[in-house]
Each structure stands twice: as structure tokens, then as C-alpha cells.
Chains A and B, each alone.
Chain A
């Protein structure tokens, strides 16, 4: 992905409340921000914890204005819940990358909760960020007791 273009890179995480959408997007934003990019992130809180649809937009690049991704302009769409794929697919630009749970060998997930981390691992393949950046952000965003399981989930997605 060419990050030097003047228009921002648009990454959207989508799913249902409780599937780890916000967490995954926080970690991704953290990775990108620490690498020195200008980042904006938009999401709607509120009733999301009660199982409703949740989306979080992250935009980064040399210059970012609106925090919300325009219609049909997602470069990457990471969907954490299969039932939502058809609902949100329209947000992707032509040629954009769609990542769904079908991209992960779910049987090998250490815990079902770690799907969001596995999806981050899958997403990490699309960027040439140092792997250490991802690991650092994962550690900073989760309690220590989850580090081992998350390490496995991330590796599963990254295909390491």
C-alpha cells in the first residue's frame, strides 16, 4: 500500500457490539500513530455494547480531514462478524480489500474472543509495518494474562 499518496488510507472495522471492533481499531490506530502518521478515528458509541452493529473508521496519511470515511471509499474493510459482511460490503471502494472471519482458520483460534486479534494479524500482511509495532500495541492494549493467546491468534492471522 502506498502511504505517501496525499489522500488518506481508509480502514474500517465492522461487526456487532461485543465482537472486539473498537478494541481492534484502537490497536490498529495505535500502531499507525506510533509510526508517525497523522491518524483520525471515528466511531459511534452508545448502544453498541448491547449487540447492535458497530463500525470504527480509521484514516491515516500525511493529511487527514474528516474522521469519517466517505461512501464507498474504504481501502480495507475488516469484518469481525460473518453476518455483517453483506450489510457493510458497500463501504468498500472498487478494488479495496475485504477481510472476513472466513480468512482465518477458526478451528485454530486459541479462544473465540481472540478473533479480532487474528484479524489484525491478517490485516498486518497488507502493510509493511515492522511486526514489532503490532506486537507492542497488542501488549499495551491487553492485560498480561491474554498476551500468550493473543500472540498465537496474531500469528495465525499473519500466517507466521
Chain B
């Protein structure tokens, strides 16, 4: 991270970079998460600044790792995009009951307008549903400052808190005056030293413990709400009393530009809402408008509290992100048609992308493709247009099985589930187990596209790459071993680019059989290929060196040469292929 710095020490940071720096300055002991636009750069930035950051296989595991650390009193952040919170929701809804010892900030990045997501769900609803406090920064300075407040709240009330960013807050850059210089981890952060203190009734959420825990949680929220009214990170800016706007997040800035004379109530801690503050503000202005992106969450809450606030026309402005022009229209009660932005060129698979080759084979065999999320989803667009469905990460496997179960035989035989490597480890593994547990009568075919990286979100490592977030070597899981262990009979590894003809031949053979087959189509993402090849060489050299030290073959397998070098046998003295 090398941000611009001006002579007064201000840094020009994206919201994600500001959160990463703030995490360092707050003494965060561990950052974990799963990549997802627009949240990905938080952990990458935290790592670049010297923080301890790691990718989990999915958001649920990340949230659980963070929870264990927070039970041990460590300060933690856990990052994900909005749909990731669906995966982690199971943890969220009960960890608010148990509470935490150390500060736990779960950073969730919403994507109003779906710049790169499959839906525009609104995480504020999770805050309310799971009874979690929710902070909403409006820009980079706000993100930097509010993260610290979020830890204070989390530690004071022993409650995990949500920190809701949005695409424009994550990716826009604006000046930040940090409390410490860039890259300096302060010696005194106030973070407590991790320690295990037993608290069975507080952390084992059986009904007998969870019932009082739920009451405790509601009491905490009531207390926090009172604090939020009195000294929460909310701000009233009194200007002209003719118009008052209640808002939060990036919308605050659009409002300031669209209506410079309006009085504004900017919410920084939007759950639990400081309803008394809101009521007083609304009463102090002649006209009070709620400006918020996506769902009418705030407006509905205000109206439920009996306030006569105006809201945006949701037949128009619920869809997509807001901007200055749209806020002007909302304030002018203009529900006329909006100008249509010019259509740019859509993205497509890179030239030479290995996914292209795989989908050409699927297309040539007229497969019904139950697909998934990743770069390869671009194969659903013309000219390839060879993916028939994509819903959520991991769904390729289950949806494919469902199709196979009910379609007439000749159609069922054409169904193939196709999933990327990172996506398979994220959400596809239980589907693999289901495939062997409830196999369709026609069998099934699963293709794992192993391009050696999480390409879609900018080439992150994952458990199948054998590298950690910071590039350090670690155990590399084997898809072929997992498929066999799950009970799949036919497991085939091939290169879909170099062995395209073979892929086509073996796939059509697999489609004819009423058996289960898993293909691992292994060929690196061309953007990551250089790094992958360099690491493979490094690993091989290390293995060879380690083997030479032990005087055995470097094959790493249980072969005849494992017992040691046989001076008389030149074949066994050199590493060989298996």
C-alpha cells in the first residue's frame, strides 16, 4: 500500500485502505474473511501494512474463526461482501446472543447497483434481524474513525458489531488524517491480551443458556440505544430549517451536494436507531426527507415510530445506487423517467483464458450447464452462451443434481455441474457429498475448473492453491482425493486447453454412463500463470532439497524408493515421476 500523502500528513485512501490502516492502528490481532467485491482489498491492505490477515474457505468459517479469537479476548475483523453474510448468517444470529470478550467487527460490503454482484440485498436488515449494532461510514475518514468506535462499542457491550460499507465507500478515495503515521503499529492500542476464561453458560447456546442470553442481548441493545442518543457517532448539521434530510453512508455526500442549504442528520450508528434524536430533528424542520439507497429500511422505521417523513419513490429509486442527480430528483419529488446511461462494452473472458476452452467443449456437446460464480460465468454471455443457470456460490452442484433427478432421461443425461476451484471449496463441497449420497439414476458429471486462483476477485489464494493470503506456502488440498473420499467412482484430471479433444471425448463418454464422474479441468488463469509456475518450481526445488537431505526420492509418495538411496540403482537415486 503506497497511498499519496500531502505535506500535512493526509493520506489519499480508499475506504478499504482506510479500514485496513485503522485495523492496524486499533491493534487488531487477526483479520479473516473471504474475497468478494467490493470488500477484498481490506484484508489485502491489512496484510500489506504488516497485519495478520488470512483467507478462509468461506465467510461462515471466517466468521467462526473470528468468533473463536474474540472469545479469547482478541480484537478481530472479519470481511465479506453482502452475499457473504448470507453464508455467515448462521454464526451471526447466535453470536449476538453469546456475545464476545474481545472486540469483533464484521465488515460487510453492500453493492447497491450491483457493480459486480448477483443481487443488491441490503445488510441493514441483517442488523435488525440478528440484533447486531451497525455502523455506516460515509467516506474514508469516517471509515477510519468509525472502526475505532465500533471496537469501543463491541468491547464495552461485549457484542459483535456489523460495519456496513458500500461499493462507493469501499472504492472511492478521499483524504484521511490518521492518528498514527502510515504503517506504524502503535505500541499501546488498549487491546487486551488474549486469554481463555471459561464461561459455559455464556457460550454454549443450548436453550437453557440461550433464553437468558436473548434477554441479555435485548437489554444490551436498549442500553446501546440510549448511548447512541446521547453520544453516538451521529451528527446534526443545522442549516436552513425548510428542508431536513436524514441519511447515512455515501448518500450523505450526495445530499450535501444536491441540497447544500438543507439541514442534515447523518447517522453513523444506524442500529439501534437513535429514534429520539431522529424525532427531534424531524420536528425541527418544515419538511423531512429520508434519503437512503436500496430498501426503505430507515424510512419504514421512522414511519413505524409515527414520524411524518418523506421517502424516495421506491418504484424508481429502490433500484441501483444513488448519486447527486438522483438525490436531486428525490428531493424535487421528480418521478419522471431517468436518463439512460450509455451502454459500455461488457467484460469478456481474457484472450487465452482456459475457461473458454472448457465451455467450448460443453457447448459442442450441447450440455445443460448448471453453473456457478466466477470469471467463468462470463461464458453465459454470447458468443459462448453455454451456461444455463447461476444463483449463488456452490449451487452448481445441487442445482445440477435436482435437474438430473426430475428431467426426462434424455435431457437429464445432458446435465453437467460446472464450478470454479475457489467456489468449489467455498460452497461446492457439501454438494459433492450429496452427489454421492443421493446419486441421480442417470449418474452425474461435475467439472471443477481449477485455474489455480480466485480470478474473479483479483487472484486471491485459497486452500487449493497451496498458498496463504500473504503468499506463504501451506498445505494444498487435492480435489481428486476429496472426490474419491466422497465416493465418486470416476475422477479424471486433465488440461482443458492442451487436451481439449481428450476432454471432449471423456466428457461425452461420462455423459453416456449412468455413473458419477468428477473432472478436474486444470489449467492456470493466464493472469496468474507466471506466479503459479514460479511457485511450482520453488516447491519442487524445496521438496527435492528436503528429500536429498533425507536421502530419499523427492516424489513425496509412498514409493519403493522411500527407504533411502540405493547407490547401485541410478533410477531410484533421482526424483522420478509417478
List residues of chain A with CB under 8 Å of any chain B CB.
Answer: 16-17, 29-30, 33-34, 36, 38-53, 64-68, 70-71, 83-84, 87-88, 90, 137, 140
Known A53-B344, A66-B254; contact A45-B38, beta-carbon cutoff 8 A: yes
Cβ–Cβ contact B116 & A68, under 8 A:
no
Interface residues of B in 30-58 (CB under 8 A from A): 37-38
Number of A-B residue pairs, CB cutoff 8 Å, is 120
CB of B7 within 8 Å of the partner chain:
yes
5 A-B pairs whose Cβ atoms sit less than 8 Å apart in the complex = A40-B139, A43-B171, A45-B171, A49-B527, A66-B253
Smallest CB gap from A68: residue in B: B323
Contacting A at CB under 8 A, from B328-349, are 339, 342-349
Q: Is the beta-carbon distance between A41 and B173 smaller than 8 angstroms? A: yes
Assess whether A67 is in contact with B342, with CB atoms less than 8 Å apart.
no
Residue of B nearest to A58 (CB): B173
The one of B37, B324, B375 that contacts A68, using a Cβ cutoff of 8 Å: B324
CB < 8 Å neighbour of B116 from A29, A45, A140: A45
Q: Which of A33, A43, A48, A87 contacts B12 (CB 8 A)?
A: A33
Closest residue of chain B to A64, judged by CB? Answer: B174
**In the complex the two chains form, what is the Cα distance from A89 to B324 in whole Å?**
19
By DSSP majority rule, is chain A's interface helix, strand, loop, or mixed? Answer: mixed
Inter-chain contact B173/A65, CB cutoff 8 Å: no
> What CA separation (Å) do A137 and B3 show in the bound complex?
11
Q: Which among A30, A70, A84 is the interface contact of B324 at CB below 8 angstroms?
A: A70
B453 to chain A minimum Cβ distance, whole angstroms, is 13
Contact A70 B7 (CB under 8 A): no
CB <8 Å contact, A66 and B349: no
* B199 at the binding interface (Cβ < 8 Å): no
Say yes or no: B349 contacts A70, CB within 8 Å. Answer: no
Q: Is B167 an interface residue when CB atoms closer than 8 A count as contact?
A: yes
Decide: A66 near B324, CB < 8 A? Known: A33-B175, A39-B174: yes
B residues with CB within 8 A of A: 2, 4-8, 10, 12, 37-38, 115-116, 139, 167-168, 171-175, 250, 253-254, 256-257, 323-325, 339, 342-350, 375, 378, 458, 527
Cα distance, A51 to B345, chains bound together (Å): 8
Closest Cβ of chain A: how far from B252's Cβ, in Å? Answer: 8
Docked complex Cα distance between A29 and B349 (Å): 30
Contact A68 B168 (CB under 8 A): yes
Do the beta carbons of A39 and B175 come within 8 Å of each other?
Answer: yes
Q: Say yes or no: A87 contacts B343, CB within 8 Å.
A: yes
Docked-complex contact A29 and B173, CB < 8 angstroms: yes
In the complex, the 5 A-B pairs of residues with the closest C-beta atoms, listed nearest first: A53-B344, A46-B116, A52-B347, A50-B347, A47-B347
Which residue on B lies nearest to A41, using beta carbons? B173
Residue of A nearest to B321 (CB): A68
Report A-chain residues with C-beta under 8 Å of the C-beta of B323.
66, 68, 70
Residues of A with C-beta under 8 A to B349: 50
CA distance A84 to B257 in the complex (A): 29
B172 & A67 in contact (Cβ 8 Å cutoff): yes
Contact of A52 among B253, B256, B346, B375 (CB under 8 A): B346
Given contacts A44-B171, A87-B345, 11 further A-B contacts (CB under 8 A): A16-B345, A40-B139, A41-B173, A42-B173, A44-B115, A45-B38, A45-B115, A53-B345, A70-B325, A71-B325, A87-B344
Residue pair A51, B350 in contact (C-beta under 8 Å): yes
